[in-house]
Structure 1
Amino acid sequence: MVSPKLIAKIESEEPTTRFAVLIDADNAQAAVIEGLLAEVAKFGEATVKRIYGDFTAPTSASWKKVLQKHAIKPMQQFAYTTGKNSTDSTLIIDAMDLLYTRKFDGFCLVTSDSDFTGLAMRLREEGLTVLGFGEQKTPEAFRNACHKFILTEILRPTIQPETPSQATKAVSSVPSKDAEQTVKPIEFPIRFVLEALEHSSDESGWAHLGTFGSYLTKLQPDFDSRRFGFKKLSDLVRAKTDVFATEERALPGQEQKSLYVRAKSAL
């Protein structure tokens, strides 16, 4: 029997944002699934989890090992014609069917294919949140069609060698396809970030970190502090003391302090 206290707690909690997670198996790697679902959990609940592809093909073997563990429903789509991708059509049709149930607050589209740009735009027109997940090769058209785009290379587990001998062996060996799936370092876009900070700050030049982060994502959906070596945006602004000044403020009625940031000097 369920405890009455537990029932009361569940009923008192705010409704969870409900997401439909749709994965294109032809354009996604199984190695990122744990990190991906953990990332989705930051935004809401993955109510529906479906993956689309031809699971009779050898290329889908890695996915078959993780589907049951993570309760992902496989949507088998045979390749009837060589050179034609029927997986895309099935995913899009299912997305529209789920959209019209009106049961979801957003969609997570896991693909590196620009063919889903139109789908992302259509879902946004309905007022739903669209999260995109894809590799670095993903075209900007699809990235910008999402509210937030996250590189799957960031979500890949980091495997550390257990011994020095293993480390030497790993360096000397030919890198595997999975090992090559890492995020390429990029230069910190200081001018873009400072312009975004200027637009999100108040008259005194200070901006709430949450407001600043939201504005960055609106301007550039694939902006992610992890691409610059920082787990959170707060870690990034605190570390770059030559660019930002930070200040913690206690807000009325709140025990936890909020972080504010401003530009240390103009370019």
Structure 2
Amino acid sequence: MDNRVALMIDAENVGYKYIDHIIKEISKYGKLVIARFYGDINRLADEWKKKALDYAIKPMHQFNVASGKNSADMEMALDTIEIKYQDKADIFFIVSSDSDFTPLAIRLKEAGAIVIGIGEEKKVTNAFKSACSEFKYFEYFEDEIEEVKVTNKYESLRITIENIILENGTDNKLQLSRLGDILVNQFSDFDPRKYGSSNLTSLVTKLGFNTSTENTTTFVKYENSLTLEQVKKYIVEFLGNSKKGNIGKLKNSMDKEFENFNVKNFGFSKFSALLKNLGYEVNEQTFSVKVKKWKK
């Protein structure tokens, strides 16, 4: 049975651009049953409100009634404790970099809850991080999801399933039931029948994944024949005599050359991270061969 997740967001401390990543992360832990964001709604960007509406995150409006005090933080803490003691959630996502939530995280853990903190690496204190069961940084969420322009809904689903297996499975293999749980948690309207399949097994098979049964448990596996040596060789050939290349053009070229190319097969969340690991210098849009500096 899925864990029940409560999402509590300090909206005045969090940018709307991270919400997609947070929702995706929650889908790995359980079913989102409570989602709220706190702050002076009148001061938030319209984009923030739209993103909250897309994910049905309930606004909890609070005026700052006293100078130097944040009543929204106090309301968020009180509501979170109430949710816990009414036994409405098992896991709490506390989204803020504010160290004032340290006592809240401690109290939740003492009461037996799992507390996942999310904030900015440079702002969050060691005390707040230590008070949480786990802590995640916004900065690394940005690296996690690469922009993939896909218009075919089957191809989009295949990429989604591939990433779920690589992120949550072992040896590119994941329990079929676990895959189904994550898909439903991530997309509330997910149904194999939308894709012309009667069940999840037939759908993943149609999309090119292999399934196997071990001790009555069905697994789905993503097969990848591309090796890191092949990737290295292709990049060298792509550069030719040049010492510098465009990252986007290289990625597009590799997508065409290698069917279903995915950097997560090699343990990386972003293409630029793979290039860095292979010894290239990486800027925003370009990569280059490192030049050895000889000592005089």
TM-score by length of 1: 0.53
Are 1:25 and 1:60, in contact at CA under 8 Å, matched by a contact in 2?
no
Q: Give the corresponding residue for 1:40.
A: 26
Percent sequence identity is 40
SS at match of 1:67: helix
Structure 2 counterparts to residues 106-255 of structure 1, below 5 A? 106-136=91-121, 137-156=123-142, 230-231=268-269
Segments of 5+ residues of structure 1 without an aligned counterpart are 1-14, 163-225, 241-267
**What is the alpha-carbon distance in structure 2 between the residues aligned to residue 127 and residue 96 of structure 1?**
12
Q: Distance in 2 between matches of 1:62 and 1:80?
A: 25
Is 2:59 the partner of 1:21?
no
Report Cα offsets for 1:192-219 as digits up to 9, x if no partner.
Answer: xxxxxxxxxxxxxxxxxxxxxxxxxxxx
Deviation track 1:56-83 (CA, whole Å, cap 9, x = no partner) reads: 11x4433112111011000000122232
Measured in 1, the distance between the counterparts of 2:142 and 2:50 equals 16
1:66 to 29, 51, 75: 51
Report the Cα distance in structure 1 between the residues aligned to 2:85 and 2:132, rounded to whole angstroms. 19
Of the candidates 78, 81, 85, which is equivalent to residue 70 of structure 2? 85
User: Counterparts of 2:85 and 2:62 in 1: how far apart (Å)?
Assistant: 22
Please name the residue that 2:36 is paired with: 50
Whether the 8 Å CA contact 1:31–1:156 is kept in 2: the answer is no
Match of 1:77, as an amino acid?
Q
C-alpha RMSD of matched pairs (Å): 2.8
Q: Which amino acid aligns with 1:139?
A: T
Specify the structure having the higher radius of gyration (Cα): 2
Whole-Å separation in 2 of the counterparts to 1:97 and 1:28:
23
Q: What is the one-letter code of the residue matched to 1:21?
A: L
More helix by share: 2
SS at match of 1:74: strand
Letter in 2 for 1:55: I
Give TM-score, length-normalised by structure 2: 0.48
